[in-house]
Amino acid sequence: MLTDGNYLSVCAYDCPDSCGMVATCKDGLLVKLEGREDNPYTRGFICHKGRRWVRDLRGQDRLTSPLARRNGKFIQIGWDEALDMTTQAIQSAVLHHGHQSFLFYEGAGNLLMGNEIQHLLPLMLGGGTMATGSLCGAEGKIGLARSYGTVGRYQPLAALESKSILLWGRNPAENSVHFLAILQDALRQGARLGTIDVRATPTTAASDCTWIVRPGSDLMLALYLCHEAIVLLGEPQAAHQGYDAFREACLLVSAEDAQEATGLSAEALHALVSFTADQPPLSIWTGVGLQRTRWGANLIHTIDTLGFLMGNHGIPGGGVWFEQGSDELLPYDFATVPGAQTRFVPRPNLGASLLEADPSIEAAMFVRGNPASQCPDAGKVLNFLEQCPFSVCLDWHMSVTARACTLVLPTTVFLERGDDYVMSYFHDLLQKTNKAAEPPEGARDEVDIVRDIALRLGLPDRFTAEKARLVDVENDPRLTPAGPGMWRLKDAPRIQGAFHFPSLVPDVPAESGMLRLITVHVRDYINGIDPGQARARVLPPVASVSTKLARERCLIEGQKVTLHNALGSLDVRIHLDKSIAAQTIVLPQGVEGVNLLVAPGLTPDGNSCINDSWVLLEPTL
Ligand SMILES: Nc1nc2c(c(=O)[nH]1)N[C@H]1C(S)=C(S)[C@@H](COP(=O)(O)OP(=O)(O)OC[C@H]3O[C@@H](n4cnc5c(=O)[nH]c(N)nc54)[C@H](O)[C@@H]3O)O[C@H]1N2
Ligand SMILES: Nc1nc2c(c(=O)[nH]1)N[C@H]1C(S)=C(S)[C@@H](COP(=O)(O)OP(=O)(O)OC[C@H]3O[C@@H](n4cnc5c(=O)[nH]c(N)nc54)[C@H](O)[C@@H]3O)O[C@H]1N2
Ligand code: SF4
Ligand SMILES: [Mo]
């Protein structure tokens, strides 16, 4: 049993902040969770989602026994039986249909680096089938890297040196509260904060100026702002790749074009031009919400170009940000198997790809992922699960995916596992997690579960050796100690050599007569993880529409309507919000049923374009 006392940990939620935590354990139970004072970004404060772990570790929703589906109902079974069932299903799939008939699906449910070890299972079987392509931020990183060839890594505290800060499609007041705190410090030091969004949010409420634009109009807006920058500041000095074609194209975008696309008034557009120019240095912080569109990478690249043309690149407090790059702190050969021949299926179009897969998927394993809720066209993921002979989900609570599987295995969560690490994708700290509570009887560490299955399949135990190698991350020469179990990762420059201008892309055509569906991350839970989700399942989700649209369609507050498109339909309740852009409907993401309506499109780089989704709205009969 774990000794009573305080343990240092780090929140492993898929959240940019990666808060340092102090966990208090008594009689093996977590009794208190607080922010760690010496983390310079999270500064002694954790949000209510983090604090909720004190309740959730032993809460009603915690799974504590393997559950097998028998005659349409889940019944509790023992671990031995559960692991045997899994082993037999994988063995039979591989024997009769080849290793690619085994799907190993990983989501982003927590950021513990040690979970990478689990790849060994499909890889040692020959490769298996895995998912590729991002539902999250890959497009933005690709776009940012196009300017100079790398995303780099640098200090978000640089915002404190900005005099003007522009948040573009980013909502830190809900999704990265410690960044908001940094921004508030910058405001106290005299900076001003502007936000471009498609609706009012707690972030716009905290901003000095807000521009509400139509979703999908940002590229036109960015090109127009680049046009103004060239007019205002003249041509860039040195020769830069692709400038002539870019210049020609952006000079063709007029203020009227930008107004028409965005819905901004001439005065509002003018004020935005002034905001980008009047009070340098300007830092622009682009968000994940913004780049979930077919040309997301080009969009972020074009916004970066604005930063470049305005002379903000490479000066303290200036520049364009998205997320940090992946720094490959794990050894390059960590959990790899040379020669493995993995078949990759696109995550953004997972359901249809799995239904069509040849060889077919005969056994599926889901870890830290909830694709039946979080992948676009989620109805097809559910169809796939209905027809897949064997599916197992490893999770700590009953997710939408777990409910649709044939077997559910209860896992521990990060507070119950020690000796692992989280590297933030927003700031520059690597932090170590310590075990801070005993898991409930019945829950098992997922790396151990996967290793046990591998051993039962007759595979060698590479898992234990890889686990022992994990500690190597601490010895990376780019790290400097920043406190107990905390290291600062050295900055890596992004701005170097010639700037590469973006190539030009066409607009994503709107579907005529339909409303654009925007799905957003919300304050109270991370993605599809809401242990109180039972509540959300009872109530229909709330869809926000503009008051103007409501008037045109004779809709009233609280009215039940049906949203539908070729993929599916969903009953929702209407909320009137006068801030929302025209012809747009906003739903929270992570709520069951929402992704039945989300289109499974892929960007040219194979990532998701979640926000290129359109729906029809009809009164519910
Ligand atoms: N509380 C909480 N925090 C979270 C998460 C969570 O679920 N809950 N999820 C975490 C994860 S995985 C991620 S990726 C991040 C996401 O963090 P964010 O990028 O901040 O989140 P989003 O809500 O996807 O989008 C941000 C804003 O972009 C706006 N937006 C959408 N489309 C457009 C557009 O076309 N143009 C413009 N200008 N704006 C647009 C949305 O209205 C929204 O307010 O948050 C992380 N933090
Ligand atoms: N419509 C729409 N869809 C979206 C988005 C959107 O904005 N709109 N956002 C997208 C984004 S940005 C993201 S990142 C994805 C996220 O998509 P996913 O990664 O699939 O979803 P999560 O809800 O983050 O986590 C998946 C599951 O991991 C479980 N989990 C948490 N910790 C552990 C653990 O320690 N072990 C195990 N085994 N399981 C654990 C959680 O309980 C949860 O059920 O969703 C995407 N989907
Ligand atoms: S969810 Fe994010 S802000 Fe909240 S405690 Fe975890 S890392 Fe910190
Ligand atoms: Mo994400």
In tens, the pLDDT along 213-251 reads 999 999 999 999 999 999 998 887 777 789 999 999 999
CA-nearest residue for atom 2, ligand 3, is 15
pLDDT in tens, 393-406: 999 999 999 999 99
Residue nearest to atom 26 of ligand 2 (CA): 369
Pick the ligand that lies closest to the CA of residue 596: 2
Contact indicator for 357, 388 with CB cutoff of 8 Å:
no
Q: What is the pLDDT of residue 592?
A: 87
- Is pLDDT above 60 for 89? yes
Specify the residue for token string 């995303």: 151
Q: pLDDT digits over 565-590, tens only? A: 999 999 999 999 999 988 999 999 99
Fill in the amino acid letter for 211.
Answer: W
Tokens representing residue 176 in the block: 């990265």
Confidence (pLDDT) at 506 = 83
Nearest to 613 by CA among 593, 573, 591, 586: 586
- The model's pLDDT over 285-311, given as tens digits with 9 standing for 90+, comes to 999 999 999 999 999 999 999 999 999
Residue 609 pLDDT > 90: yes
- Tokens 């028998």: give the residue: 70
What is the residue with the minimal CA distance to atom 5 of ligand 3? Answer: 50
Q: Using an 8 Å Cβ cutoff, are 408 and 393 in contact? A: yes
Ligand nearest to the backbone CA of 35: 3
Nearest CA residue ID for atom 2, ligand 1:
175
Q: Judge whether 521 and 174 are in contact, CB under 8 Å.
A: yes
* Ligand 2 site, residue 293, Cβ cutoff 6 A: no
C-beta of residue 342 within 8 angstroms of C-beta of residue 122: yes
Q: Give 321's strand partners.
A: 285
Domain boundary among 261, 290, 321: 321
Ligand nearest to the CA of 43: 3
Picking from 617, 612, 601, 422, the residue whose alpha carbon sits closest to that of residue 514 is: 617
- Nearest-atom index, ligand 2, CA of 136: 12
- C-alpha 459/C-alpha 483 separation (Å) is 40
* Residues pairing with 364 in the sheet: 103, 391
Pocket probe mutation, ligand 3, options 14, 19, 51, max atoms within 8 Å of Cβ: 19
Share of the chain above pLDDT 90, in %: 90
For 221, the token pair is 């807006």
Q: Where are the beta strands (DSSP E) in 399-485?
A: 407-410, 420-423, 429-433, 479-483
CA of 136 to the centre of ligand 4 (A): 4
Q: Minimal CA–CA distance to 452: which of 84, 13, 16?
A: 84
Ligand 1 mean position to 322 CA, how many Å? 12
Give nearest CA residue, ligand 1 atom 44.
171
- How many CB atoms lie under 10 A from the CB of residue 45? 16
Nearest atom of ligand 3 to the alpha carbon of 176: 3
Q: What tens digit of pLDDT does each residue of 114-169 get?
A: 999 999 999 999 999 999 999 999 999 999 999 999 999 888 999 999 999 999 99
What ligand is nearest to the CA atom of residue 370? 2
CA-nearest residue, atom 13 of ligand 2? 136
Question: Which pLDDT band holds residue 101 (cuts at 50, 70, 90)?
Answer: very high
CATH number at residue 385: 3.40.50.740
- List of residues 6+ apart from 242 with CB closer than 8 A: 500, 501, 502, 503
Closest CA to 570 of 601, 615, 612: 615
| CA 45 / ligand 3 centre spacing (Å) | 9
Residue 46: pLDDT band by 50, 70, 90 thresholds? Answer: very high
Calculate how far, in angstroms, residue 505's C-alpha sits from the geometric centre of ligand 2. Answer: 31
Q: State in Å: Cα 136 to ligand 1 middle.
A: 10
Ligand 1: distance of its center to the CA of 296 in Å?
14
Contacts of 460 (CB under 8 A, 6+ apart): 124
The answer, yes or no, to whether residue 537 has pLDDT greater than 60, is: no
Mean pLDDT in residue range 368-377: 97
Amino acid at 191: A
Convert 353-380 to b/e letters by CB count within 10 Å (16 or more is b).
Answer: bbeebeebbbbbbbbbbbbbbbbbbbbb
Contact 400, 528 (CB under 8 A): yes
Question: Looking at ligand 1, which residue's alpha carbon is closest to its atom 16?
Answer: 288
The confidence score (pLDDT) of residue 511 equals: 83
Among protein residues, the one whose CA lies closest to atom 7 of ligand 1:
526
Q: Secondary structure of 45-67 in the HEC alphabet?
A: CCCHHHHCHHHHCCCCCECCCCE
CB-ligand 2 contact for 14 (6 Å cutoff): yes
pTM assigned to the model = 0.97
Quick one: which ligand is closest to 323's CA?
1
Residues 6+ apart with CB under 8 A from 57: 29, 30, 413, 415, 416, 437, 440
Q: Are residues 215 and 239 in the same domain?
A: yes
- Please give the pLDDT value at position 533: 58
Q: Which is the closest atom of ligand 3 to the Cα of 17?
A: 7
Query: In whole angstroms, how far apart are CA 204 and each of 125, 336, 564?
Result: 50, 45, 30
Separation CA 18–CA 37 (nearest Å): 13
Please indicate, yes or no, whether residues 149 and 125 belong to a single structural domain of this protein: no
Alpha helices (H) in 520-615, listed in sequence order: 533-538, 547-553
Tell me the CA–centroid distance for residue 137 and ligand 4, in Å. Answer: 6
The pLDDT, as a whole number, for residue 240 is 79
Sorting pLDDT into bands at 50, 70 and 90, what band is 483? very high
The H or E element spanning position 584 is strand 584-588
Pairing assessment for the beta strands 319-321 and 282-286 based on DSSP bridges: parallel
Cα torsion 591, 593, 369, 348 to 10°: value is: -120
Q: Indicate which atom in ligand 3 lies nearest the CA of residue 47.
A: 4
Does 329 fall in a domain? no
CA distance 589 to 595: 8
Helices (H), 397-517: 400-404, 446-456, 463-469
Q: Which atom of ligand 3 is nearest to the CA of 15?
A: 2
CATH number at residue 12: 3.30.200.210
Q: How many residues would you count in the chain? A: 621
Average pLDDT over residues 376-381: 98
Longest dimension (CA), the chain: 72
Question: What value does the mean pLDDT of the chain take?
Answer: 95
Q: Report how far residue 189's alpha carbon sits from residue 14's, in angstroms, rounded to the nearest whole number.
A: 30
Burial zone of 514 (CB within 10 Å; 0-12 exposed, 13-18 middle, 19+ buried): middle
Q: Is residue 202 part of a domain?
A: yes
| Ligand 2 centroid – CA 560 distance (Å) | 28
Q: For residue range 494-513, list pLDDT tens digits in order.
A: 998 899 999 988 878 888 88
**Ligand 2 touching residue 519 (CB < 6 A):** yes
Q: Could you tell me if residue 496 is inside a domain?
A: no
Q: Distance, CA 587 to ligand 1 centroid (Å)? A: 12
Q: Considering the domain boundaries, does residue 409 fall inside one?
A: yes
Which CATH number fits the domain that encloses residue 564? 2.40.40.20
Ligand closest to 613 (CA) is 2
Are 279 and 378 part of one and the same domain?
no
Token code pair at residue 508: 């994503």
359: three-class secondary structure by DSSP: coil
Report the SS3 class of residue 275.
helix
- Three-state DSSP state, 34: strand
Q: What pairs with residue 286 in β-bridges?
A: 168
Statement to judge: residues 76 and 212 lie in one domain: no
Q: Is 319 in the pocket of ligand 2 (CB under 6 A)?
A: no
Q: Classify residue 338 by burial, with Cβ atoms within 10 Å: 0-12, 13-18, 19+.
A: exposed
Residue 472 near residue 113, CB atoms below 8 Å: no
Residue 97 Cβ < 6 Å to ligand 1: no
Nearest CA to ligand 2 atom 25: 109
Answer yes or no: do 458 and 544 share one domain: no
Q: What is the pLDDT of residue 621?
A: 74
CB 371 within 8 A of CB 108: no
- Residues 131, 143, single domain; the answer is no
- Backbone Cα Rg of the chain: 25
Regarding whether 580 and 553 lie in a shared domain, the answer is yes
User: Is 176 close to ligand 2, i.e. is its CB under 6 Å away?
Assistant: no
484 and 349 inside one domain:
yes
> Based on the structure, what is the number of domains in the chain?
4
Domain holding 52, by residue range, is 5-56
Report residue 85's pLDDT band, with 50, 70 and 90 as the boundaries: very high
Co-location of 392 and 427 in the same domain:
yes
CA 325 to chain CA mean position, Å: 14
Is residue 93 within 8 Å of 456, Cβ to Cβ?
no
Q: Give strand ranges (E) for 347-426.
A: 363-367, 390-395, 407-410, 420-423
* In a shared domain, residues 230 and 359: no
- Of 157-166, 268-277, 321-330, 479-488, the one with minimum mean pLDDT is 321-330
- Whether residue 375 is found in the same domain as residue 300: no
For 156, which DSSP code? Answer: G
* pLDDT value for 589: 95
Answer whether 122 contacts ligand 2 (Cβ < 6 A). no
Domain membership flag for residue 79: yes
425 located within any domain: yes
Cα-Cα-Cα-Cα dihedral sign, residues 328, 332, 334, 340: positive
Residue 335 lies in a domain: no
Residue 509 lies in a domain: no
Number of H helices, E strands in the chain: 21, 26
Pick the atom of ligand 3 nearest to 18's CA: 7
In which band, very low, low, confident or very high, does the pLDDT at 532 lie, cut at 50, 70 and 90? low
The whole-number pLDDT of residue 508 equals: 81
Is 607 touching ligand 2 by the criterion CB < 6 Å? no
Using CB distances shorter than 6 Å, the residues near ligand 3 are 11, 13, 15, 17-19, 46-47, 49-50, 177, 526
Both 183 and 123 in one domain: the answer is no
Residue owning the nearest CA to atom 4 of ligand 1 = 175
Contacts of 543 (CB under 8 A, 6+ apart): 561, 563, 572, 573, 574, 575, 585, 586, 587
Is-contact 614 515, C-beta < 8 A?
A: yes
Question: How far does the centroid of ligand 1 lie from the alpha carbon of residue 126, in Å?
Answer: 37
Ligand minimally distant from the alpha carbon of residue 33: 3
**pLDDT digits 0-9 by tens, 457-470:** 999 999 999 999 99
